[in-house]
Structure 1
Amino acid sequence: MTDREAITDLIYRYCRAVDRLDHELGYSIWHEDGTADYGEAVYQGSVHGFVDFVCEQHGKTLGHSHQVTNIILTLDGDRAASESYHIAALRIMRGEQLHEICVRGRYLDRWSKRNGRWGIDHRVTIRDFDDIRPVTPLSNEVRSRRDRDDPSYAVLAIANEPGGRPR
């Protein structure tokens, strides 16, 4: 895998970690001493504190889905920088009405390759805009899970770590 592919894969795995509330996967995106800056009103600090915070906050919602697009990378040896556009949709109840929060923004990441492994050293998140609105679901069927019992873990286990627990 090229360095560009390895970093892109980690960016995608971040969304998976958040949507599956997978703390260990979330930690693995950063280096151990990595930091996250989601703004004063949200979170600024260590990666472990951030992953725990975001999983706890998302666990209070009814569901959520994160996507990233438009990944731009610059590479310089064992250092890199990226900008990734993101869309996060979260569902909550307000009284008797289902609402969806939608946040659109960008992840600005500084990366380094240490001992052959890429990881984020520091992330700054820019919120470009957001909204909240009432929604009417098309279906009540929910097949996804917000844990390692999500069907995707079994499917992806074929080519991943022993014991069927993909990274």
Structure 2
Amino acid sequence: MAQQNTGDELEIAALLNRYARAVDTKDWRLYRSVFTYDAHIDYSANVFQGSLDEAIAFFSGVFSEGVAMSMHYISNIESEIDGDTARVRAMFYNPTQIKGVPQLSVFGGYYFHDLVRTPDGWRSRNLREEMVWTANSPREGQA
């Protein structure tokens, strides 16, 4: 069982790395490959919540137009694996260059994923972002 969990943990870490690369390179086909077709994605800390298709529309529109560069670092991945499901908590650190903001904006917090094992490997059925802190965010000071 320990070998199975180690293999699953490596696959889950690879999935989260693929997620970060997809967002940072604005590769929405790759982004889609991280999730189940019916996934729910909650970036409510960043004013978005909805389906996978709605997330891709948000990212390919507002996000792509307003963000010149982002570079997600995902670490401290904790997985609770139970058969073909897993609950994952991971930290993120995300320096971002937002168009029109002279200084680099930086965001930090947690991603919470509910994963399922599919024939194609682990996929996220539910993602919730919890923003813990920001620096130089254009939203700072807004009510």
In 2, distance between residues paired with 1:49 and 1:107?
19
Contact 2:45–2:130 at 8 Å: present in 1 too? no
Say which one has the larger Rg.
Answer: 1
Q: What is the CA distance between 1:23 and its match in structure 2?
A: 0.5
Q: Give the TM-score, by structure 1 length.
A: 0.72
Alpha-carbon deviations, 1:71-91, whole Å to 9, x = none? Answer: 011100000010010011111
In 1, distance between residues paired with 2:40 and 2:51?
5
Q: Per the alignment, in what secondary structure is the counterpart of residue 98 of structure 1?
A: coil
In 1, distance between residues paired with 2:98 and 2:15?
28
In 2, distance between residues paired with 1:80 and 1:67?
21
Q: Which segments of 5 or more consecutive residues in structure 2 lack a partner in the other structure?
A: 1-5, 138-143
- Equivalent residue for 2:42? 37
Q: Which segments of 5 or more consecutive residues in structure 1 lack a partner in the other structure?
A: 134-167
Distance 1:71 1:93, change over 3 A: same
Q: What is the CA distance between 1:69 and its match in structure 2?
A: 0.8
Contact 1:93–1:99 at 8 Å: present in 2 too? no
Q: Per the alignment, in what secondary structure is the counterpart of residue 58 of structure 1?
A: helix
Q: What is the CA distance between 1:117 and its match in structure 2?
A: 2.2
- Equivalent residue for 1:120? 124
What is the aligned length? 131
**What's the % identity of the aligned pairs?**
24
Distance 1:55 1:84, change over 3 A: farther
Deviates more, 1:53-62 or 1:1-10: 53-62
Q: What is the CA distance between 1:62 and its match in structure 2?
A: 2.2
In 1, distance between residues paired with 2:73 and 2:53?
22
Contact 1:86–1:106 at 8 Å: present in 2 too? yes
Q: Per the alignment, in what secondary structure is the counterpart of residue 56 of structure 1?
A: helix
In 2, distance between residues paired with 1:83 and 1:121?
14
Q: What is the CA distance between 1:3 and its match in structure 2?
A: 1.5
Distance 1:41 1:7, change over 3 A: closer
- Equivalent residue for 2:57? 52
Q: What is the CA distance between 1:50 and its match in structure 2?
A: 0.9
